[in-house]
Amino acid sequence: MKNIPLLIGAFLFSIFFYQQDIGLNLSLFSLLTIIILAIYNKDLFKKKSTIIFSIVFIITAITIFFFRSILTIVAYVVAFLTLIGNVSKQGSSVYVNWLNGLYTSIAAFFHRNFNTTEKDEKVTPKQKTDYLHLIKIIGIPLITVIIFIALYKNGNPMFSELISKIDFGFINIQWLLFSVLGYYLLSNISKPVIVDPATTYDLNNGNSLSRERDFIVEKIKKENQLGFILIALLNVLIVIFLITDITYLISTNDLRASAISNQVHNGINTLIASILIAIIIILYFFRGDLNFYKGNKNLKTVTYVWIVLNLLLIINIVIKDCQYIYYFGFTYKRIGVLIYLLLTIIGLLTTLIKVKQIKNFWYLFRVNTLTAFTILIISSTINWDNYITHYNLNYAQSMDFNYLLDLSDNNTFLLKNYADKNNLTAERKSLIEKKYKAYLIELESKKWQEIQYDNFKLNKD
Amino acid sequence: MNISSVIFKSTVLATCIFWIVIMSQGFQNYMIPLVFLSMIPISICCAITIFLTIVPFFWVRRGELVDEFDGRNRIIFKKYFPFYAIVSFSLCLYGIVESIFAISFFVSAFFTTMQSWVWLAKDNEKQNN
């Protein structure tokens, strides 16, 4: 009896996804997932974090319904794994949630062979399934209903017509195998499991560093001196770099796309190397006892200065990227640079907090993965293709028209609207018309499982 | 450790999954003798995979956990199986994405390796008891 929700879920899984594209079905599947999780883990759905991750999961599903893109699909998968991981173990970090979520989704069925503890076995001895009763409660009503349907069919032509409309033609062996796959997935997630060493380690390790009982002061003093000299020198170097870079930025009049592109990309490469080395060096020196050494004030000061200078370096790149966007419009790469810079700023600030409040490496990892997850979810709720097209058509000083055409269909209605209201060249108009018509055909051929928000726009028109 | 019985069971399981997936796309009479013939290469694949990728976990860790009476395999299973499952899944998924025609092979490979872990761990558990 306890498997009935899973059987119904597997049936619905096949109806939603068998030989279907992505659309409304992902929203329905997310509801199904949450219902299955809530049925088998009632208590956990009273916890705030589980409710929040469920809402996030539904939001990502809705975004796919509104504008499908690779980013929204990735966000959906990550949100799914996070929710499952959260249900498997409350209070664990986001990256452990991902690990537990992935493991649960693919292999919980096999893991459960070794999941029962001796205590569980003693308290709840496994009851034997009464298969005869199961056959009776399914078989007898089913046979009786079929007999009565046959009787009523002969007695009422309208009822007969209704029955004949029910088409089970979609059920075949492949469909059944697909249902088995659905059952396997839902059975896996119904009772989430954990990756034991990783989860226990994560739960047992807090965010703060603890002081060792007796550390050798002489050794720490030498390390402090080395750290101070190294980071002070790097400060001098980064100051010189910033001065020359800002001077170049102010004095140059070269606004060719290739020139700005080179500057931004070189800047990003420098930044990636610089930030990574900065964080590694900081993590190395502040890995343990040096945090508790009384004479570390100067080292801490030069470290803060270095972090602030790296932030200035980032601002410098942001200015270049914004300049690039102002003149040549948005592209995914240029937006990606901005998001990377945002992540870097957060990474540097958390490193600063780590040094100031004597946190450990796991603190950095936890906070930054959570930040990356949040940014992924927020960025997936934005229809980038539409915004890129809108900005480039209306505000950019110059733009690549073919780039807009090559974007996904999320900007098709906007392009069509723009073409109708503006005087474009015949070639551009025909290209937009071609894209629009192809999209209309695609939308019209969608089955109910695949429909998306644009289908409703179609009906309005 | 009775590896031969695990290899035999894995071969049967892999053959069943492999041919069910193929036959779901269309059944032909000539497939029946092929089912039995295919058991030879499948058994070789199973034996190699089990010997090279699963059994070493039990052999290597066996000596270290002598003091743990009947929970020895449970410890090995819980510690290594999750990562093995994730790697196995990733490789099989990659294989399916690269060549959808090989779906039956990769699906049977994934489920058979998973079940082989369970059989090996349970087999050892019985022997310890």
Using alpha carbons, select from A248, A245, A253, A314 the residue that is nearest to residue A278. Answer: A314
Q: Do B24 and A103 touch (CB under 8 A)?
A: no
Residues of B in contact with A106 (CB under 8 A): 85-86, 89
Residues of B in contact with A102 (CB under 8 A): 86, 89
What SS3 state is found at A217?
A: helix
Q: What are the percentages of helix, strand and coil residues in chain A, rounded to 5?
A: 80, 0, 20
Q: Which helix (H) or strand (E) holds A158?
A: helix A157-165
Q: Which residues of A79-98 are buried (b: 16+ CB within 10 A; e: fewer)?
A: bbbbbbbbbbbeebbbbbbb
| Residue A195 near chain B (CB below 8 Å) | yes
Q: How many CB pairs under 8 A join A and B?
A: 52
Least CA distance to A174: which residue of chain B?
A: B24
Task: List the single residue in B24, B89, B115 with the smallest CB-CB distance to A106.
Answer: B89
**In this predicted model, which residue has the larger pLDDT, A120 or B72?**
B72
**Number of helices and strands (H, E) in chain B?**
5, 0
Q: Are A318 and A341 in contact (CB under 8 A)?
A: yes
Q: Do B23 and A173 touch (CB under 8 A)?
A: yes
Q: Are A428 and A402 in contact (CB under 8 A)?
A: no
Distance from CA of B28 to the nearest CA of A (A): 14
Q: Give the A window 255-314 contacts with B, CB below 8 Å.
A: none
Best residue in A105, A113, A183, A188 to probe B by mutation, most B CBs within 10 Å?
A: A113
Pair of tokens at residue A92: 């664990």
Pair of tokens at residue A159: 């009822």
Task: List the single residue in A103, A110, A173 with the smallest CB-CB distance to B117.
Answer: A110
Pair of tokens at residue A232: 């002070």
Q: Do A114 and B21 touch (CB under 8 A)?
A: no
Residue B37 lies in domain: 3-128
**Number of helices and strands (H, E) in chain A?**
20, 0
Spatial CB neighbours of A134, under 8 Å, sequence gap ≥ 6: none
Q: What is the tens place of the pLDDT at every residue in B97-112?
A: 998 778 999 999 999 9
Least confident segment among A46-55, B36-45, B119-128: B119-128
DSSP A242-281: HHHHHHHHHH-----HHHHHHHHHHHHHHHHHHHHHHHHH
Residues of A in contact with B121 (CB under 8 A): 113-114
Q: Do A107 and B83 touch (CB under 8 A)?
A: no
Least CA distance to B87: which residue of chain A?
A: A103
Task: List the single residue in B24, B83, B86 with the smallest CB-CB distance to A173.
Answer: B24
Distance from CA of B88 to the nearest CA of A (A): 10
Task: List the single residue in B86, B121, B122 with the smallest CB-CB distance to A102.
Answer: B86
CA dihedral in degrees (B75, B78, B79, B83; nearest 10)? 160
Least CA distance to B92: which residue of chain A?
A: A106
Tell me which amino acid residue A123 is: V
**Residue ranges of chain A with pLDDT lower than 70?**
1, 115-132, 165-171, 212-215, 252-260, 263, 267, 459-461
Q: Do B115 and A110 touch (CB under 8 A)?
A: yes
Phi and psi at A396, nearest 5°, equal -65, 140
Q: How far is CA A114 from CA A104, A109, B7, B73, B104, in A?
A: 14, 10, 21, 9, 28
Best residue in A18, A105, A111 to probe B by mutation, most B CBs within 10 Å?
A: A111
Q: What is the pLDDT of residue A59?
A: 95
Pair of tokens at residue A178: 């697909």
Distance from CA of B116 to the nearest CA of A (A): 10
Other Cβ atoms closer than 10 A to A296: 22
Q: Are A180 and A10 in contact (CB under 8 A)?
A: yes
Q: What is the tens place of the pLDDT at every residue in A34-60?
A: 999 999 998 888 899 999 999 999 999
How far, in Å, CA of B70 to CA of B129, rounded?
Answer: 6
Q: Do A177 and B20 touch (CB under 8 A)?
A: yes
| Residue A107 near chain B (CB below 8 Å) | yes
Pair of tokens at residue A91: 């209070």
How far, in Å, CA of A412 to CA of A416, rounded?
Answer: 6
Pair of tokens at residue B71: 């929970």
Spatial CB neighbours of B65, under 8 Å, sequence gap ≥ 6: B72, B75, B76
ipTM score above 0.85: yes
Q: What is the pLDDT of residue A249?
A: 73
Task: List the single residue in B74, B85, B122 with the smallest CB-CB distance to A103.
Answer: B85
Q: Give the A window 366-425 contacts with B, CB below 8 Å.
A: none
Give mean pLDDT, residues B61-81: 71
What SS3 state is found at A208?
A: strand
Residues of B with CB under 8 A from a CB of A: 20-21, 23-25, 73-74, 77-79, 81-83, 85-86, 89, 114-115, 117-118, 121-122
Q: Do B25 and A114 touch (CB under 8 A)?
A: no
Q: How far is CA A68 from CA A15, A64, A411, in A?
A: 20, 4, 11
Q: Judge whether residue B62 has pLDDT over 90.
A: no
Q: What is the pLDDT of residue A170?
A: 61
Q: Are A88 and A104 in contact (CB under 8 A)?
A: yes
Least CA distance to B113: which residue of chain A?
A: A110
Task: List the single residue in B73, B74, B85 with the smallest CB-CB distance to A107.
Answer: B85
Phi and psi at A288, nearest 5°, equal -155, -115
Indicate the number of domains in chain B: 1
Q: Do A196 and B78 touch (CB under 8 A)?
A: yes
Q: What crossing angle do the helices spanning A384-394 and A332-356 adopt, rounded to 10°?
A: 110
Residues of A in contact with B86 (CB under 8 A): 99, 102-103, 106-107
Q: Are B109 and B62 in contact (CB under 8 A)?
A: no
Q: Do A174 and B82 touch (CB under 8 A)?
A: no
Q: Are A82 and A373 in contact (CB under 8 A)?
A: yes
Confidence of residue B68 (pLDDT cuts 50, 70, 90): low
Domain boundaries, chain A: 4-128+190-197, 217-359, 384-460
Task: List the single residue in A106, A173, A174 with the smallest CB-CB distance to B85.
Answer: A106
Confidence of residue B63 (pLDDT cuts 50, 70, 90): low
Least CA distance to A172: which residue of chain B?
A: B24
For the purposes of burial, counting CB atoms within 10 Å of the CB of A455, is it exposed (0-12), middle (13-18) or buried (19 or more)?
A: middle
CA dihedral in degrees (A317, A322, A324, A329; nearest 10)? 150
**Distance between start and end Cα atoms, chain B:** 13
C-alpha torsion sign, points A222, A226, A232, A235: negative
Q: Are A81 and A97 in contact (CB under 8 A)?
A: yes
Q: Are A85 and A99 in contact (CB under 8 A)?
A: yes
Q: What is the pLDDT of residue A171?
A: 63
Spatial CB neighbours of A199, under 8 Å, sequence gap ≥ 6: A88, A89, A92, A96, A99, A100
| Residue A354 near chain B (CB below 8 Å) | no
